[in-house]
């Protein structure tokens, strides 16, 4: 229960940091999308309920804070979460190279969804604009993914211990 | 029949997909209207973002100031180096200018003296000794011999007492061993200007009856056969007439500042040559 209570707070905090801190420390446009890494992590390691809730909340906050079309990030994050979840049943997701490659592919998929959305909704072709930066962003996000996976795993362990203590199991 | 776990998963997935689609559908239903939860999120995100931005701004400002200080320090060092270099250059130019003025004075002096002369530079001086001598960088190779008078633009400096091939020793007029036949320019009364060390010089053998006043100019008489006539020696600083005795005691300050002597002119003049 604590997980679901803390979820909006931490999600908001994470997105705030992502939008502010990472935007400054990385070159403009190629800052890693930590929220997407977390969604993929959720697909790999969290259950369908926890991971799904996390994806929806993150997507919703992303929509609120940066999105132009409300619901787009909820939809895309949900899609990526489900794909990750399905993939985690078929492939061992703990490898560093796989994590990097899969994250890179997911970032590109997200950008592809953006291109398709713009094309479908506004009839605009934003392929060139997005391709200029999306590949580098995908690479940066992919390279950093294993490190963030390790960080999220630690946080998950800490949260589990806290939950166990709160419920009196330890 | 599907297992409960599989059923739970399917239901969860369906709920999530439904939530996503509902979320998107809200936009298409009323694209200009901001929903309640979105408003809540924006209200919460704004102060959080501004707090983080503020903290980042402070850090960024501190960093910028640090970088600025580092740049300033570097610039300061560079400017200090430039200032030091320019100061050296200005000093060199000033030295050259002053040297020019001194040498011009020497040339004028050389023309006035009417004898051939050799310009020389002071190569060393012994400040601690009681003997008031300086070394100059010219010697027999330049035609200099013992006894030649040495002058500067301001007046007489002394005479050569030792000479080697390229160096000569000059006995300055303030040395106790220096004696120059002199005249008081105003009334032409004659005496011998003797060195008195740090006190300057003393004009000796001037009769009590002679009218010598403070400020009178003392020049060489030319009678000693060493110094040409009319060279500036000094000015009378004090006159003392005792109740008894034939002569009065006259203190003379050399016009030449011995401590600042740098370039001199050695007059190539055989003993006994007159003007």
Q: Measured between alpha carbons, how far apart are the two ends of chain B, in Å?
A: 143
Instruction: Tell me, yes or no, if B62 comes closer than 8 A to chain A by beta carbon.
Output: no
Helix axes A34-45, A2-25, angle to 10 degrees: 140
CB contact under 8 A, B41 and A74: no
Domain spans in chain B, listed from the N-terminal domain onward: 48-113, 117-267
CB contact under 8 A, A17 and B52: yes
Which chain A residues are closer than 8 Å to B20 by Cβ? 56, 59, 71, 74-75, 78-79
Of B16, B26, B48, the CB nearest to A71: B26
Contact criterion met (CB < 8 Å) for B20 and A56: yes
CB B210 within 8 A of CB B248: yes
Sequential pLDDT tens for chain A (170 residues): 777 888 888 888 888 888 777 766 666 556 788 899 999 999 988 888 888 888 988 888 888 777 667 778 888 899 999 999 888 888 887 788 888 999 999 988 888 888 888 788 777 777 776 676 677 888 888 888 999 999 988 888 888 888 788 776 55
Å from A71 to nearest chain B CA? 4
A117 touches chain B (CB under 8 A): no
The CATH number of the domain covering residues in B117-267: 2.40.10.340
CA–CA gap between residue B109 and residue B106 (Å, rounded): 5
What pLDDT digit, counting tens, does each position of B24-34 carry? 777 677 666 66
C-alpha B167/C-alpha B40 separation (Å) is 99
- Name the minimum distance, in Å, from the CA of A151 to any CA of chain B: 21
Convert the pLDDT of each residue in B177-190 to its tens digit: 888 999 998 888 99
Q: Is B19's CB within 8 Å of A63's CB? A: no
Q: Is A83 on the interface with B (CB under 8 A)?
A: no
Check CB contact under 8 Å for A16 and B24: no
CA B170: distance to chain centroid?
Answer: 28
Asked if B160 contacts B148 with a C-beta cutoff of 8 angstroms, the reply is yes
Of B20, B35, B49, the CB nearest to A78: B20
Convert the pLDDT of each residue in B41-79 to its tens digit. Answer: 777 777 777 777 778 778 878 888 888 888 888 889 999
The answer to whether A18 contacts chain B (CB < 8 Å) is no
The whole-angstrom separation of Cα A29 and Cα A31 is 6
Interface of B with A in 17-56 (CB under 8 A): 17, 19-21, 23-27, 35, 37-38, 41-42, 44-45, 48-49, 52-53, 56
B10/A contact by beta carbon, under 8 A: no
B126 interfaces chain A, CB cutoff of 8 Å = no
Contact B186, B264 (CB under 8 A): no
DSSP A26: S
Extract long-range pairs of A48-52: CB within 8 Å, 24+ residues apart.
A48/A85, A48/B8, A48/B9, A48/B12, A48/B13, A48/B16, A49/B12, A50/A3, A51/A81, A51/A85, A52/A78, A52/A81, A52/B12, A52/B13, A52/B15, A52/B16
Would you give the distance in Å from CA B138 to the centre of its chain?
27
Q: Which domains does chain A have, with CATH numbers?
A: 2-163 (1.10.1760)
Record the tokens describing residue B116, joined without a space. 């051939």
Rg (CA), chain A: 16
The structure's pTM equals 0.52
Phi, psi of B154 (to 5 degrees): -85, -20
In this complex, is the C-beta atom of B143 within 8 Å of any C-beta atom belonging to chain A? no
pLDDT in tens, B140-198: 888 888 889 998 888 899 998 888 888 888 888 888 888 899 999 888 899 999 888 77
Secondary structure of chain B as H, E, C letters: CCCHHHHHHHHHHHHHHHHHHHHHHHHHHCCCCCCHHHHHHHHHHHHHHHHHHHHHHHHHHHHHHHHHHHHHHHHHHHHHHHHHHHHHHHHHHHHHHHHHHHHHHHHHHHHHHCCCEEEEEEEEECCCCCCCEEEECCCHHHCCCCCCEEEECCEEEEEEEEECCCCEEEEECCCCCCEEEEEECCCCCEEEEEECHHHCEEEEEEECCCCCCCCCEEEECCCCCCCCCCCEEEEEEEEECCCCCCEEEEEEEECCCHHHCCEEEEECCCCCCCC
Distance CA B265, CA B275 (A): 17
pLDDT in tens, B117-145: 888 888 776 655 556 888 888 888 888 88
Closest residue on chain B to A21 (Cα)? B56
| Pairing status of strand B247-254 against strand B149-152 | unpaired
**Contact between B19 and A56 using a beta-carbon 8 Å cutoff:** yes
**CB spacing of B38 vs A64 below 8 angstroms:** yes
ipTM value > 0.95: no
Give chain B positions within 8 Å (CB) of A60.
23, 37, 41
């Amino acid at each position: 229960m604590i997980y679901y209570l803390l979820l909006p707070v931490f999600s908001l905090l994470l997105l705030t940091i992502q939008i502010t801190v990472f935007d400054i420390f990385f070159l403009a446009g190629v800052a890693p999308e930590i929220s997407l890494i977390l969604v993929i992590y959720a697909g790999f390691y969290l259950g369908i309920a926890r991971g799904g809730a996390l994806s929806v909340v993150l997507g919703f906050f992303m929509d609120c804070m940066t999105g132009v079309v409300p619901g787009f990030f909820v939809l895309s994050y949900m899609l990526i979460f489900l794909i990750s979840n399905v993939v985690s049943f078929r492939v061992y997701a703990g490898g560093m190279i796989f994590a990097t490659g899969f994250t890179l592919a997911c970032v590109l998929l997200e950008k592809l969804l953006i291109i398709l959305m713009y094309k479908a909704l506004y009839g605009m072709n934003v392929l060139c604009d997005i391709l200029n930066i999306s590949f580098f962003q995908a690479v940066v996000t992919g390279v950093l993914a294993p490190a963030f996976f390790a960080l999220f795993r630690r946080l998950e362990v800490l949260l589990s211990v806290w939950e166990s203590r709160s419920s009196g199991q330890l | 029949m599907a297992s409960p776990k599989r059923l739970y998963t399917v239901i969860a997935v369906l709920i999530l997909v439904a939530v996503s689609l509902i979320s998107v559908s809200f936009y298409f239903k009323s694209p200009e209207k901001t929903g309640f939860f979105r408003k809540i999120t924006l209200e919460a995100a704004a102060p959080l973002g501004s707090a983080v931005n503020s903290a980042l701004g402070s850090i960024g400002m501190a960093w910028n100031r640090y970088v600025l200080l580092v740049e300033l320090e570097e610039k300061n060092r560079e400017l200090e180096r430039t200032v030091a270099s320019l100061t050296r250059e200005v000093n060199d130019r000033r030295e050259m200018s002053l040297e020019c003025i001194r040498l011009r004075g020497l040339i004028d002096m050389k023309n006035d003296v009417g004898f051939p002369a050799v310009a020389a530079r002071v190569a060393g001086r012994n400040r601690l000794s009681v003997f008031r001598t300086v070394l100059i960088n010219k010697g027999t190779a330049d035609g200099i011999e013992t006894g030649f008078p040495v002058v500067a633009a301001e007046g007489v400096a002394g005479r050569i007492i030792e000479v080697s091939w390229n160096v000569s020793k000059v006995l300055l007029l303030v040395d106790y061993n220096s004696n120059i036949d002199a005249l008081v320019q105003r009334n032409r009364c004659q005496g011998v200007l003797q060195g008195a060390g740090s006190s300057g010089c003393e004009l000796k053998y001037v009769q009590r009856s002679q009218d010598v006043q403070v400020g009178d100019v003392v020049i060489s008489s030319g009678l000693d056969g060493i110094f040409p006539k009319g060279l500036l020696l000094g000015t009378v600083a004090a006159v003392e007439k005792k109740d008894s005795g034939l002569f009065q005691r006259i203190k003379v300050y050399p016009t030449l500042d011995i401590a600042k002597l740098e370039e001199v002119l050695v007059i190539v003049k055989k003993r006994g040559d007159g003007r």
